[in-house]
Amino acid sequence: MDIKSAFDCFNFKKQCEKYGVGIWQCPQFLFLVMGAVIVFAIIITNSVAQKYAEPSVVALIVLAVAAVLFVISFIIVSSFERVVQASLAKSEFIRIMSHQLRTPLSAIKWQIELLFNKKINPDQETVNRALLEIKDKNEKMIWVANNLLDVNLIEDKNLALSSSIFSLKDIVSEVVDMLNESAVRANLQIFVTSPQEIPNVSADKMRIKNIVYHFIDNAIRYSTGKGIVAVALESLPGSVRFLVTDEGVGISKEDSKNIFKKLFRSQNTLTGQTSGSGVGLFIAKVIVERSGGKIGFTSAEGKGSTFWFTLPASV
């Protein structure tokens, strides 16, 4: 910690503004108050003990009281800090999710207004485009709502997976078809490589399809300029591995350790230009690991990333 950071810890106004709380709820100020209480308690204890005990006993009493008070103050301050951080996380979560829902709702509103605009009198082609846009945005809202439900189920330890045997190769093919148009709009090409014969996997089919969609969609959204998104399937001993590689902005070393945490969004140059709830990778990690697989990624900042997961092959 440098000198500036040390002084910032005692800038209570700045810390309170950071957490959005009053001074008596600010962890740093509470820690200082508890420190003053401990010093005062030690002085009183020492004064009282000196009248009734030997010096060595006095020292032990003072140390014991100081230790107890320090532990209590640490627990109190830590509890306040957790409450404040939870409040901040909740506010950020609401902000992100509100944006995630407001965008498709606004698009649906515009398309409906277009359809009912008598001055324009849209032709059938315009009507069809508007209906497709409405359908697409409706699917987006359903996806966001399902993510919210999954996060809640995970935190309540009630997430139930419906395991079945299916072809991951077929899932990848379906998702690529769904995202090809998005890739074209971004001047990207999706290339898929897979062995001719690859084992089926055992997992929750619908949720794994959502994870594949999320991985490829992320690769498209965080790519820069022209390039490719490489999707691959590999047959491993006892499992099947899915990989998607982009040529995008990549992830910094600092962000890498938090990439699978809930509500975390990498602070790269495209974060402000892309939509994202910060829960997709968190959900993916939980589902893949509970399915008996593994999940991970490699990345080089400014060069791109590869995200992958494995699932048990069906016997």
Read off the pLDDT of each residue in 61-83 and give the average, rounded to a whole number.
Answer: 70
Same domain, 129 and 212: no
pLDDT value at residue 227: 85
pLDDT value at residue 272: 44
pLDDT value at residue 49: 64
What is the distance in angstroms between the CA of the first residue and the CA of the last residue of the chain?
Answer: 54
- Kindly indicate the confidence band of residue 310, based on its pLDDT and cuts at 50, 70 and 90: very high
Same domain, 131 and 214: no
Alpha-carbon distance of 197 to 210, in angstroms, equals 23
Task: Report the percent of the chain where pLDDT is more than 90.
Answer: 27
pLDDT value at residue 105: 85
pLDDT value at residue 203: 94
Whether 142 is in a domain gets the answer yes
Indicate the residue among 61, 88, 115 that finishes a domain. Answer: 88
Read off the pLDDT of each residue in 54-60 and give the average, rounded to a whole number.
Answer: 66
Taking every pair of C-alpha atoms in the chain, what is the biggest distance, in angstroms? 99
Give the residue, 86 or 71, on which the prediction is more confident. Answer: 71
pLDDT value at residue 270: 45
Q: How many helices (H) and strands (E) does the chain have?
A: 9, 7
Nearest to 203 by CA among 92, 55, 67, 310: 310
Give the residue, 308 or 111, on which the prediction is more confident. Answer: 308
Same domain, 131 and 84: no
Same domain, 219 and 238: yes
User: From start to end of the chain, where are the E strands?
Assistant: 163-166, 188-193, 201-204, 227-236, 239-245, 295-300, 304-312
Whether 209 is in a domain gets the answer yes
Whether 93 is in a domain gets the answer no
State yes or no: pLDDT of 143 exceeds 70.
yes
Same domain, 180 and 115: no
Whether 95 is in a domain gets the answer no
Amino acid at 200: N
Whether 121 is in a domain gets the answer yes
Read off the pLDDT of each residue in 86-99 and give the average, rounded to a whole number.
Answer: 69
Same domain, 30 and 79: yes
Indicate the residue among 155, 173, 189 that finishes a domain. Answer: 155
Instruction: Output the CA–CA distances (angstroms, integers) from residue 205 to 202, 279, 282, 314, in the order listed.
Output: 8, 19, 18, 13
Give the residue, 23 or 188, on which the prediction is more confident. Answer: 188
Whether 180 is in a domain gets the answer yes
Q: Where residue 254 sits, what CATH number does that domain have?
A: 3.30.565.10
Same domain, 180 and 293: yes
User: For the stretch 59-71, what's the b/e string if a residue is b when 16 or more beta carbons lie within 10 angstroms of its beta carbon?
Assistant: eebbeebbeebee
Alpha-carbon distance of 210 to 206, in angstroms, equals 6
Alpha-carbon distance of 77 to 305, in angstroms, equals 39
Task: Report the percent of the chain where pLDDT is more than 70.
Answer: 71
Give the residue, 12 or 250, on which the prediction is more confident. Answer: 250
Same domain, 123 and 58: no
pLDDT tens, position by position, 194-252: 998 999 999 999 999 999 998 999 899 888 777 899 999 999 999 999 999 998 888 88
* Phi and psi at residue 197, to the nearest 5°: -115, 125
Same domain, 200 and 257: yes
pLDDT value at residue 85: 66
Indicate the residue among 42, 58, 88 that finishes a domain. Answer: 88
Amino acid at 127: V
Boundaries of domain holding 207: 163-312
Read off the pLDDT of each residue in 160-187 and give the average, rounded to a whole number.
Answer: 91
Least confident of 157-161, 175-179, 271-275: 271-275
Same domain, 130 and 227: no
- Sequence-ordered alpha helix ranges (H) in 161-279: 168-185, 205-221, 253-256
pLDDT value at residue 103: 80
- Kindly indicate the confidence band of residue 302, based on its pLDDT and cuts at 50, 70 and 90: confident
Beta-carbon-side half-sphere exposure of residue 216 (alpha carbons within 13 Å): 29
Question: What value does the mean pLDDT of the chain take?
Answer: 79
Instruction: Tally the domains of the chain.
Output: 3
State yes or no: pLDDT of 269 exceeds 50.
no
Put simply, whether the predicted model's pTM sits higher than 0.85 gets the answer: no
Nearest to 244 by CA among 289, 291, 304, 311: 304
Cβ atoms of 237 and 212 within 8 Å: the answer is no
State yes or no: pLDDT of 24 exceeds 60.
no
Same domain, 179 and 131: no
Same domain, 209 and 140: no
